[in-house]
Chains A and B, each alone.
Chain A
Amino acid sequence: MRRAASAVIAVVGALLLISLFLNLVPGDPIDVMLGEEASEVDREALRRAVGMDQPWYAQLWTFSKDFATGELRTSLPPFQKKVLPAIGAALPKTLQLTVASLLIAVGIAIPLGVAAAARKGTAVDSAAMGVAVAGVALPRFWLGPMLIIVFALWLDWLPVSGAESWRHLVLPSLTLGTALAAFLSRMTRAAMLETLREDFVTVARAKGLHPRVVLWKHAFRNALLPILTVLGLEFGTLLGGAIVTEKVFAWPGMGTLLLTAIEKRDYNTVRATVLMFTLCYVIVNTLTDVAYALVDPRVRRRS
């Protein structure tokens, strides 16, 4: 309940913020759309057409109502298309990309982090953490082009851009997932080191259980909670990174939709995509909290 309430507050706050911003900024968005030298008549006409002659709370209400009912149209007269179909086409593409990169990140980070923690202080540990430190520093908009040069242009194994088949998904999701993989493996290592110090791990070892059983069944399952927390929080970074990644690979998702809308000064689509991103983020964070309870019986009992 408390979680649901704060999720609602977040979404309403986000809605307020993005609506207020358009109205509170110095200068007139109409100026930006038409240029300063446009005639007063044209400006008035556009202002009315996009609803900007209304006070901000009325605009906010219209926007929210239209968004919720799917009636929202692009703010580009005279061809005011509905925004919803564009979002409906783009959202699955972005989810596909983020989920794929999430899987890549988890698939790399967990074995790496667990191995590093199990062999703390050895060459395995330093190598894994060295890779992780470097991975965090790689900008996505640079890693992407470099992967394109090597795997698409030189080796010709994978396509440069587009989204027609699963082969198109490989490079974008690697680009998006690498930084998270690096960060997550450090977190996994830290969480594992923490649980490996616990008494129940010592007990499990003393009972003579196989080291692998101790590592995965006793230590890792207890390290899952902090790992999940990080994943939930980092999902936002992943969504932000998706915008950049989509631009690099011309991936037809929400990021591309947002950037095109920004370029065209289509503020309704801009607001709608930003709101959609925020909704995804809030939903994922709420789901993370639910996942806690599934993973850890201690959390379940407390609530």
Chain B
Amino acid sequence: MSEASPVAAVAPTVVTRRGFRLRTLGGRFGLGVAVLLVLTALLAPVLSPYAPQAIELSAELAPPGPGHLLGAGENGIDVLTHVLYGARVSLVVAFFAVVLSALVGTTLGGLAGYVGGWVDEGVMRGVDVLLAFPGILLAIFITSVLGPSLFNVVFALSFTGWTGYARLARGQVLTLRERDYVQAARALGSGNARILFRHLLPNAAGPLLIQATSAFPGAILAEASLSFLGLGAPPGTPSWGALVDQGTQYLLVAPHVALFPGLALALTVLGFNFLGDAVRDALDPKRVN
């Protein structure tokens, strides 16, 4: 199982060579959930029985039945439609939040590790300060100041989320930069930028990818929490968190409104947690049992 030889670190294909062989049950389940979710997000307009904003006052808070498979919510909006469209909001926000965090964190952390000195000092102090906040609290603060919009959610989550990648990239660069192949590249006349972005960071891709996949369910949960608090998705956007918020007002008469979007969310987070574990096991031979 473990084949992390020094040679492997030289070959830039080390990440892809093993491939993602998700042999565990959890890994398959996670992959299944992820594929299902992406399909749902793509096909939401086709799958949904109604338009996301369709109002049908006669069906307000109707229980699950033939007309509305998962029941209806406030103003008779179709819960199934909102759950299907909610997959889009969840995926898109989490995806951009994770990608932006990873880009910013990797760049800053890589620079900190490579350049050292005051750059290192500055970046790592910034990381320390951000880690002094509970992440979600800062996200709540930022979105409350900027106002509810999905773009602001992405910004708030990235603002707090890049620190993990920065620490990781810095550590990786610090250990990798003394390697022979870096000396060789330098001897061959590679510039600093080329060494950092072509030689060092690609070789740190494994741990960074692990970090990104394990951060993904957290980002989904964070978006839903912010939307539940009324600070994420603007009113009318089909977000799972916002729908649960709506449902909490009708727990006695219409428990289905809170039940189904929350179930979809829990399943998604569970699936992506499994997927994250499987990706970690596949990429990090040291961690296998």
Contact = CB atoms under 8 A, between A and B. Distances in A.
A4 B161 CA distance: 25
Interface string B115-156: 000000000010011111111111011101111000000000
A84 interface: no
Interface stretch (B60-68, B163-171, B246-254): B246-254
B113 to A, nearest CB: 20
A102 to B, nearest CB: 14
Contacts of A263: 230
Interface string A1-43: 0000010011101101110011001000100100000000000
Given A9-B125, A141-B225, A258-B140, A240 B265 contact: no
B209 interface: no
Interface string B199-234: 000000000000000000100010011001111000
Interface residues of A, number: 48
A237 B136 contact: yes
Nearest to B241: A141
Contacts of A241: 136
Interface of A is mostly: helix
Interface string A237-270: 1011101100110000000001100110001001
Given A137-B273, A153-B252, A13 B140 contact: no
B266 interface: yes
A264 B198 CA distance: 50
Nearest to B132: A10
A267 to B, nearest CB: 8
B181 to A, nearest CB: 34
Contacts of B270: 133-134, 137
A243 B133 contact: no
Given A9-B128, A13-B125, 5 more contacts: A11-B132, A149-B251, A243-B137, A247-B228, A282-B132
21 contacts: A10-B128, A13-B132, A17-B130, A25-B146, A137-B270, A137-B273, A139-B241, A139-B244, A141-B224, A141-B225, A141-B228, A142-B263, A145-B248, A236-B133, A237-B136, A240-B137, A243-B136, A244-B225, A267-B145, A277-B137, A281-B132
